[in-house]
Amino acid sequence: MELTKEEEQKLIQEAMQIRKNAYAPYSNYQVGAALMTEDGKIFTGVNVENSSYPISMCAERSAIFTAVGAGEKRFKAIAIATINGGPPCGGCRQVMSEFSPDMIVITVDETGKICMRGPVHEILPGAFGPKNLE
């Protein structure tokens, strides 16, 4: 999937901005995500931790679930902002693959430096997906 430099920069800026709203009192690892649909709409998400750790939510899934709730299911790219440009967890990669295995994933650190950039199918090779259930 093609992503213009302008679209990439917009996603990065949105992810960095929304990251400030993350609720991470336990890990202190704030994450912001900005997701672009194939038609250019942007949905954002943040990580939300809970004292009962397993029910916490990642920023990437938060953005995707919000987009799906708005009727969107095809995504072009997602930018993920953290303090150090950390990659998405396996669960988030699986959710990304469910909808758009060719979606571009970009991670940036707190300065906006790109740390990782590539399609979901490269960061989750051999993913289990809808086709496996046919």
Residue 18 CA to residue 1 CA, distance in Å, equals 24
Does the annotation flag 68 for ligand binding?
Answer: no
Does the annotation flag 47 for ligand binding?
Answer: yes
Cβ distance 96 to 77 under 8 Å? no
Does the annotation flag 115 for ligand binding?
Answer: no
Name the active-site residue from 2, 6, 14, 60: 60
Does the annotation flag 21 for ligand binding?
Answer: no
Residue 74 CA to residue 72 CA, distance in Å, equals 6
Does the annotation flag 48 for ligand binding?
Answer: yes
- What's CA 52's distance to the chain center, in Å? 23
SS3 content of the chain, % helix, strand, coil (to 5): 35, 25, 40
* Region at 9 (left for phi over 0; alpha for psi -120 to 50; beta for the rest): alpha
Does the annotation flag 14 for ligand binding?
Answer: no
Does the annotation flag 49 for ligand binding?
Answer: yes
Q: Is residue 122 flagged as an active site residue?
A: no
Does the annotation flag 52 for ligand binding?
Answer: yes
Binding site per annotation, positions: 47-53, 58, 89, 92
Binding site per annotation, positions for Zn(2+): 58, 89, 92
For the annotated catalytic residues, the residue numbers are 60
Binding site per annotation, positions for substrate: 47-53
